[in-house]
């Protein structure tokens, strides 16, 4: 019974460690995947924060650099988006959809409406729309007619909102929102905020709470008009073939772009977050690893009690010629067997629980707190190997004192009163 409890203790400690590391790795992997799916790997911008002019030939030239898969021009600005009495601060990103789809996956997460409306209208389609407007001139003379309202709404520039932002504003596909730029424009009456009405063409759900609450997308041309920027951009985003070479690729892009440019990458932008996750992983391993330490104490106690109980038998064996090293190996083998069996059972149990938790999403979370709505599990083989080595090693260390104590038994003293 004591041996069985010792095996169960080791198994519980190993299973707990495997599950804890799987959860930690799941959060890290899920966060990294969502970040890399929502942002670019490398960003090129001006060192002084000014706009990038003549960006088309520059982007075409930089796309030829090694490791670069795709590039996309963007504009980022803080705006105020309002619908009726509700308002929300947001980041408005001006994009060219066909380029943006090559560097990030956010447009693929549009769940309501369609991101296709962000594509620039073709010349032929514009001509047909003009003919249609001419044919409906008579209907449009009444500015309050249903057709006139529909025409004005269709002519509004499209915008894609995050799910959480849309819920907070009460917006849905087809709603008209007012986008206000804090930069404004200078008038005889002072600086007046510049605003424009946008039609909600879609709502995206990336599963990343911060993005769904604070981000919105529109055409690059519409963003340039809203911010009165002209044909300039602020950032060129790049997707590369090896995310862990982002720093080296960024330096190469800076040199190729020339003086006055700098780069940032996904690791620099999220370094504090991933550092905190690594620290949390270490603390988790140490804290949950105490369960394995307690199990090792159980092995120590059980073997010590066994030595005390089997003192007479050990003395008889030693009087018949058994060497001290043989006695020592018996108790080392006993402790190793407990550690190996407990570790094997714990690994199977831990990986089974991790698979079930990750496959069935057994544990839900508040997305506004954790950015995801379930606990992710991502068990790794290397973690299992590390846990197994620590568990078996600790079990072997726990056998040192009992085996040494058993080998020191003197047959004459042990059998004196028998």
* Cα distance between residue 353 and residue 355, in whole Å: 5
Segment 84-97 shows an average pLDDT of: 92
Mean pLDDT over each residue of the chain, to the nearest integer: 86
Q: pLDDT (tens digit, 9 = 90+) per residue, 254-268?
A: 999 989 999 999 888
Alpha-carbon span 3 to 7, nearest angstrom:
6
* Pairing of β 176-187 and β 86-95: unpaired
Whose tokens are 């002072």? That residue is 190
pLDDT digits (tens, 9 = 90+) for 378-409: 999 999 999 999 999 999 999 999 999 999 88
Most confident of 107-121, 316-330, 403-417: 316-330
Tens-digit pLDDT profile for residues 332-360: 999 999 999 999 999 999 999 999 998 88
Please give the angle made by the CA atoms of 190, 196 and 202, to the nearest 5 degrees. Answer: 150
pLDDT mean over 155-173: 92
Mean pLDDT of 119-134: 50
Nearest to 211, CA basis, from 95, 364, 372, 82: 372
Both tokens assigned to 170 = 């009460």
Give residue for tokens 């002019």: 53
**Does residue 95 surpass a pLDDT of 50?**
yes
How far, in Å, CA of 94 to CA of 251, rounded? 26
Rounded to an integer, what distance in angstroms lies between the CA atom of residue 346 and that of residue 320? Answer: 40
Q: What does the alpha-carbon distance between residue 296 and residue 11 come to, in Å, rounded to a whole number?
A: 11
Write down the pTM of the prediction. Answer: 0.71
Q: How far apart are CA 106 and CA 104, in angstroms?
A: 6
Q: Supply the pLDDT for residue 38.
A: 76
pLDDT value at residue 357: 92
Longest dimension (CA), the chain: 122
Query: What's the pLDDT at 126?
Result: 42
């Amino acid at each position: 019974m004591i041996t069985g409890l010792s095996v169960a203790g080791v198994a519980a400690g190993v299973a707990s460690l495997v599950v804890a590391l799987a959860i930690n790795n799941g959060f890290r992997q899920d966060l990294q995947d969502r970040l890399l799916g929502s942002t670019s790997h490398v960003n090129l911008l001006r060192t002084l924060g000014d706009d990038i002019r003549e960006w088309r030939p520059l982007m075409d030239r930089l796309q030829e650099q090694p490791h670069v898969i795709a590039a996309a021009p963007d504009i980022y600005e803080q705006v105020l988006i309002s619908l009726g009495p509700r308002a929300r601060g947001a980041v408005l990103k001006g994009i060219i959809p066909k380029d943006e789809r090559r560097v990030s996956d956010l447009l693929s997460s549009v769940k309501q409406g369609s991101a296709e409306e962000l594509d620039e209208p073709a010349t032929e389609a514009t001509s047909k729309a003009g003919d249609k407007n001419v044919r409906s001139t008579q209907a449009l003379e009444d500015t309050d007619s249903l057709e006139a309202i529909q025409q004005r709404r269709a002519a509004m520039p499209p915008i894609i909102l995050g799910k959480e932002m849309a819920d907070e504003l009460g917006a849905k596909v087809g709603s008209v929102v007012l986008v206000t730029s804090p930069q404004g424009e200078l008038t005889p009456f002072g600086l007046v905020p510049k605003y424009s009405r946008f039609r909600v063409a879609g709502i995206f759900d990336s599963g990343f709470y911060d993005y769904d609450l604070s981000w919105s997308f529109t055409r690059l041309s519409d963003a340039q008009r809203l911010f009165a920027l002209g044909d300039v951009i602020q950032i060129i985003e790049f997707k590369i073939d090896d995310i862990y070479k982002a720093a080296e690729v960024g330096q190469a892009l800076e040199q190729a772009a020339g003086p006055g440019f700098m780069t940032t990458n996904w690791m620099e932008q999220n370094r504090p977050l991933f550092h905190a996750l690594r620290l949390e992983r270490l603390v988790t391993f140490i804290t949950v690893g105490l369960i394995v330490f307690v199990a090792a104490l159980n092995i120590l106690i059980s073997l010590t009690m066994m030595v005390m109980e089997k003192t007479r038998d050990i003395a008889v064996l030693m009087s018949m010629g058994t060497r001290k090293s043989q006695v020592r190996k018996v108790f080392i083998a006993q402790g190793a067997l407990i550690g190996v069996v407990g570790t094997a059972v714990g690994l199977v149990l831990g990986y089974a629980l991790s698979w079930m938790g990750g496959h069935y999403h057994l544990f839900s979370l508040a997305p506004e707190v954790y950015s995801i709505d379930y606990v992710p599990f991502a068990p790794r083989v290397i973690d299992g190997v590390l846990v197994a080595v620590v568990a078996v090693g600790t079990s072997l260390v726990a056998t040192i004192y009992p085996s040494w104590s058993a080998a020191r038994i003197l047959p004459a003293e042990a059998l004196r009163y028998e």
